Amino acid sequence: MNYSEKKSLSTRVTIIGAFLDLILGLGKIIVGSLYLSQALIVDGIHSLSDILTDVFVILITFISHEKPDDDHPYGHARFETLGTIVIGFILIVVAVFLAIENIESFIAKKESVIPGTPTIIITIISIFSKEWIYRKTLAVGELIQSELLIANAWHSRTDAISSILVLVSLVVSMAGFPQVDIFTAIVLSLFIGKVGWDFVWKSIKELVDTSLDQAQIQEVKEVILSVDGVKGMHNLRSRKMGSKAILDVNVEVSPYITVSEGHEISTWVANTVIKSFPNIMDITVHTDVDDDRGESDIFEPHSYELLPLRSEVIETIQGIVEASEFKHISNFDLHYYNGKIRLYLTVDATSKNADIENKLLAIEYISEVHFFQKL
């Protein structure tokens, strides 16, 4: 599914939800005012607040589903995270104001009036309508893997649940306990605030690069280790980007294969992981021949003793081996393994291998020397 199709699905279901919120919000506020139900009025304000979030979801969706560009090479998914935070704060602010107002009424013990029958009817309509739009929005959110749309779906579910509480309070109030109506309004306010905080906290953790859950991390490890040629792995790290995630990992391969084969194994690792996990959008694979973490699980350049590269190794060998011996060496293969270098040398038939070997093994960072005769 391409970006355009995702935006179209998300926008369509959100517009339907916004229209439903407008009708229900105005209806609950009007009926609550006419038939004296404070809980229903609070529920109506909750529904109208959904319209603001619906509009916001549409705007953020257009941005977050844009393709990667020069300024955002990893895409725009973090705008979705930002949008979820805003939705959460809107819910928290609405909850605080409603809670304060109704707590003051409850403490002041204002005279309560038994609400009228129409409040029951519109509340039942609200319950079924909001549950329907919740299920529809959630289905689209899961289909296009949008955390923002899923959050908005749960926003609708909170409206359905709050309407159920309102329905219970209306029935109890009509049974002769009208003060329950204000108490229910306070409970609803706290419930709305809790939902808002959950959205905010989850998104804040994502913005500070929280990793995938450990269950999926373990699944990713198993997939990586299943690739032919992978001997081990370490430094698997992940960070969330909206509904997606980015990974980087070090895979360990044999130190005796060619560079191109090691690269091909890493390419297989990347392709296999991305195909196996739809929520992983990118993975950087570094090829190792051993576990270079040392005492830490994280690569620390300042604590890692670097071995010399080819030009320095050959220069060192040239300074130790006599010129007459050095000219017999036609090729140098260097294998870096376990903090040392294994030398594989191609020499001609007239060379004295034992003499050369003893001199090379005296070099601190060389662990082994192997000879191949030039044909």
Q: What is the pLDDT of residues 239-251, one digit of tens each?
A: 877 667 889 999 9
- Please tell me the predicted confidence (pLDDT) of residue 155: 74
Q: Look up the pTM and report it.
A: 0.54
Higher-pLDDT residue of 293, 99: 99
pLDDT for res 181 = 66
Share of the chain above pLDDT 70, in %: 83
> How much is the pLDDT for 274?
92
7-33 average pLDDT score: 87
At residue 206, does pLDDT exceed 70? no
pLDDT at 302: 47
- Ranges in the chain annotated CATH 3.30.70.1350: 214-303
Summarize the confidence of residues 218-224 as an average pLDDT: 94
Residue range 123-133: mean pLDDT, rounded:
89
pLDDT surpasses 60 at 260: yes
> What CATH class is the domain 310-373?
alpha beta
SS3 assignment for the chain: CCHHHHHHHHHHHHHHHHHHHHHHHHHHHHHHHHCCCHHHHHHHHHHHHHHHHHHHHHHHHHHHCCCCCCCCCCCCHHHHHHHHHHHHHHHHHHHHHHHHHHHHHHHHCCCCCCCCCHHHHHHHHHHHHHHHHHHHHHHHHHHHCCHHHHHHHHHHHHHHHHHHHHHHHHHHHHCCCCHHHHHHHHHHHHHHHHHHHHHHHHHHHHHCCCCCCHHHHHHHHHHHHCCCCCCEEEEEEEEEECCEEEEEEEEECCCCCCHHHHHHHHHHHHHHHHHHCCCEEEEEEEEECCCCCCCCCCCCHHHCCCCCCHHHHHHHHHHHCCHHHHCCEEEEEEEEECCEEEEEEEECCCCCHHHHHHHHHCCCCEEEEEEEECC
Tens-digit pLDDT profile for residues 307-349: 899 999 999 988 888 887 888 888 889 988 888 899 998 888 7
pLDDT tens, position by position, 281-315: 889 999 988 765 555 555 555 455 788 999 999 99
Q: Which residue has the higher pLDDT, 353 or 208?
A: 353
Confidence grade of residue 263 (pLDDT, cut at 50, 70, 90): very high
Superfamily of domain 3-207: Cation efflux protein transmembrane domain (1.20.1510.10)
CATH 1.20.1510.10 maps onto the chain at 3-207
Fold exhibited by the domain 214-303: Alpha-Beta Plaits (3.30.70)
- The predicted model gives 192-221 an average pLDDT of 81
The residue ranking higher by pLDDT, 38 or 372, is: 372
> What is the chain's mean pLDDT, rounded?
80
